[in-house]
Amino acid sequence: MPLEKYQYVSNVWRDGIFDNKVVFCTGGAGSICSAQVRAMVHLGANACIIGRNVEKTENMAKDIATARKGAKVLGLGAVDVRKPEALVEAAEKCVKELGSIDFVIAGAAGNFLAPMDQISANAMKSVIDIDVLGSWNTVKATLPYLIESAKKYSTDGRTEPTKGTGGRIIFVSATLHYGGTPLQSHVSVAKAGVDAMAMSVAIEQGPKGITSNVIAPGPIADTEGVARLSRSDTREKSAKTIPSQRYGTVKEISDATVYLFSDSGNYVNGEVLVVDGGQWHTSGVQAVGPFQYPEFLLSGETVQGVAGGKKSKL
């Protein structure tokens, strides 16, 4: 179903700035990543979104394609980012059908709520494998194409890049590990690894024209993450702990994406762009809703009342 433009991208961006470009996105059927890709498609790009669920991924691809008449959006399901050969094959198919990979969004992630002593080794490994190894596999599979794009669309910042930009990657991270977040030790470790990876890509691949940056969303309204990992009866109260006094929108993550991928982000490399209304500055222990710190951790209770709770298998 077509969405109104302002639901996924601001009106400040000129149509056509990503004409003849291709964006490759893992986790592309998710609430945030699909909005990022939709914005890119609206502004001229074609896209390839990757996911494990075939039906969800293919349906989302069709939906994203409604953002622009004539847009081509591939939905490649049954692709597990933990398997490097699956991503290599997906990247090859993307290039074969769409012609290139100019932008990459590494957005596949896994999460649930649980204290450290209730997380099994397998559960921890699963999150690390999806977030860290999955991002690594995404880089490895797409890097040859990004280098080619960066070379083709290089810019010195002094003259207008009339053919647009290319050779850029964004990792979707989080702010959980900045000050430490109860019930999120596993994801905090994983996202810290993703941040470090993005910096390494910037340092090593920057001389080849690549830019590598991180977008770290805060709490974003109407997303799967908020629905699974928080209680509806506490969201209004938790929003009051955010300096901007509200949850963010997917459009605000999309706008950050367009900024980093467009001519405006030419000289931004190896940075973390936090889009959270200032939330991480005032988060921490007082913002855990019904799971009060440290009483909940000391009680030994299992997380209840949210779909994202997980019982230990130890």
CA 87/CA 291 separation, integer angstroms: 38
The residue to which tokens 């509806």 are assigned: 232
Cβ atoms of 276 and 176 within 8 Å: the answer is: no
* Domain membership flag for residue 311: no
Q: Token digits for 126? A: 């699963």
Structurally, the chain folds into a number of domains equal to: 1
Cβ atoms of 82 and 130 within 8 Å: the answer is: yes
pLDDT tens profile 270-299: 999 999 998 888 865 454 556 666 677 788
Q: Model confidence at 177, in pLDDT bands (50, 70, 90)? A: very high
- By residue range, what is the domain housing residue 75? 14-299
* Domain membership flag for residue 2: no
State the DSSP code for 113: B
CA 68/CA 42 separation, integer angstroms: 5
* Domain membership flag for residue 185: yes
CA 222/CA 224 separation, integer angstroms: 7
What is the average per-residue pLDDT within 146-173? Answer: 95
Model confidence at 148: pLDDT above 50? yes
pLDDT tens profile 18-70: 999 999 999 999 999 999 999 999 999 999 999 999 999 999 999 999 999 99
CB within 8 Å of 4: residues ≥ 6 apart: none
Q: At what angle do helices 31-42 and 250-261 cross, to 10 degrees?
A: 50
The residue to which tokens 């280098």 are assigned: 147
* Domain membership flag for residue 219: yes
Q: Taking Cα atoms as reference points, which of 18, 61, 308, 37 lies closest to residue 186?
A: 308
Domain CATH code at residue 168: 3.40.50.720
CA 140/CA 204 separation, integer angstroms: 13
CA 53/CA 207 separation, integer angstroms: 37
What is the model's pLDDT at position 121? 96
Q: Which residue has the higher pLDDT, 143 or 295?
A: 143
Question: How big is the chain, counted in residues?
Answer: 314
Q: Taking Cα atoms as reference points, which of 218, 250, 225 lies closest to residue 38?
A: 250
pLDDT tens profile 61-115: 999 999 999 999 999 999 999 999 999 999 999 999 999 999 999 999 988 999 9
Task: Work out whether strand 73-76 and strand 168-172 pair parallel, antiparallel, or are unpaired.
Answer: unpaired
Q: Taking Cα atoms as reference points, which of 191, 218, 257 lies closest to residue 9?
A: 257
Asked about 62 being catalytic, the answer comes back as no
CA 52/CA 26 separation, integer angstroms: 10
What is the model's pLDDT at position 287? 45
pLDDT tens profile 214-271: 999 998 887 766 656 566 666 777 777 788 888 999 999 999 999 999 999 999 999 9
* Domain membership flag for residue 235: yes
Amino acid at 35: A
Q: Let me know if 267 is exposed, middle or buried by CB neighbors in 10 A (0-12, 13-18, 19+).
A: exposed
Question: Which among 100, 188, 191, 254 is annotated as catalytic?
Answer: 191
CA 121/CA 106 separation, integer angstroms: 24
CA 146/CA 133 separation, integer angstroms: 19
* Domain membership flag for residue 309: no
Strand order in the sheet with 211-217: 73-76, 46-50, 22-26, 103-106, 168-172, 211-217, 272-275
Q: Taking Cα atoms as reference points, which of 63, 94, 144, 111 lies closest to residue 219?
A: 111
* Domain membership flag for residue 209: yes
Question: Which among 34, 149, 173, 212 is annotated as catalytic?
Answer: 173
Q: Is 241 helix (H, G, I), strand (E, B) or coil?
A: coil
CB within 8 Å of 292: residues ≥ 6 apart: none
Asked about 163 being catalytic, the answer comes back as no
What is the model's pLDDT at position 221? 84
* Domain membership flag for residue 9: no
Q: Token digits for 215? A: 């977008």
What is the pTM (predicted TM-score) of this model? Answer: 0.89
What is the model's pLDDT at position 286? 55
